[in-house]
Structure 1
Amino acid sequence: MSTELPASTAGPAEAGATALSRRTFIATTAVGGVAATSGLPTEPAVAVAATSTEVLTEAPPTSRVTLSVNGDRHTALVDNRTSLLDLLREHLGLPGTKKGCDAGACGACTVLIDGRRVNACLTLAVRLDGAKVTTIEGLADGDRLHPLQQAFIDQDAFQCGYCTPGQIMSGVGCIKEGHTGSAAEIREWMSGNICRCGCYTKIVLAVEQAAGRK
């Protein structure tokens, strides 16, 4: 014998009303339960929802930041949560710095700030007022490539190329820091930059070439 229940005969309007009343009941019960637990007077669920909407629509705090990028002075009004990576890519039109993990773990977004290599995804733009930033776009001198850029070509030190800008910027920093005494030292000081294609051997050769060791 079949135990299938008969289909509901409620019309669309009645079904919508039922769903709405259930949502209203759940929201009201939740608010009432919190109020009862805390001993606070209850408020209508609609009022609570309206307050939440007002909070969400408030404009986030912004700041004006002025910095030098590849020798050019830029002033921008940015959300205080904006990273240097997003400032470069979305506000200044410099997409050479890549967004990889966006968590400081892959090195694809490496740039130089006042000569020091930094993960742009972990750096807030508002903290860089007056700083000098160098990205991959600022390394070449016109049509003349930076020695490390040329070395990457000579050594065929890339495949897909996505990590290459970060690798090159980190390599420039590594050379400036004097950490090129041996292949092992270069690997250690370049270990924050991940190459998913596995071109590490040729990357080390490129850094050695640019540092004058090859």
Structure 2
Amino acid sequence: MLEVENVSAGYGLVQILWDVSFKLKEKEIVSIIGPNGAGKTTLVKTIMGLLPTKNGTIRFKGENIEKLQTYEIVKKRVSMIPEGREIFPRMTVEENMLLGAYTINNKQQINDSKERINQIFPVLRKKEKAMAQTLSGGEQQMLVIGRSLMSNPELLILDEPSLGLAPIIVAKVLDTLRQINEEGVAVLLVEQNIRDSLNIADRGYVLEEGKIIIEGDGRELLSNDHIKKVYLGI
């Protein structure tokens, strides 16, 4: 479904990514893990067209997308949740949700998506008239996930969704991602939360200093000596 091949990218003259390659298949969860400054967010922004590639190709469902604008990639049913839970605080929960459906013209489809998301996150139905700024951190994360699902994506990309959340809320978020994946949505999960993200992943990649250095099955990577030593303190 998503193929990143020999991609290099960065900010102006500063190169962050060096010949990065990985694949994500349909209905799969893939985790990209690594420390702060490894280039994870740069990779996400490059996939979504927010940063240009210096070289390499990015294909979605067989079509090259590395030259496309972000809105064109979104129209191909790719959604991204950026780091930091970017909500519109002075808009209601419902208004925030509906912003995620800006590529859809069919009112019934919008209503169907909204109902499906409210079933996944009942708290969003309960608080749909509340201002988004009144939600807890965990509820805000549910909101941005719900908003991203309004466009009915085939691929959902999340950048550090566990950041700043209590462990019990992180577990809820990851359970929700598993549920969404079981409904047919492929998930690219970019995380520092190594153990939890690899536990739900079909496959994982370790990104360090802008390069993929390890890849393998998600849970099997938890037994990798480098990962145990550097990330798990074992």
TM range (shorter): under 0.3
Structure showing greater Rg:
1
Higher strand share: 2
**Higher RCO, 1 or 2 (CA under 8 Å, sep at least 6)?**
2
Higher helix share: 1
**TM-score, structure 1 as length reference:** 0.24
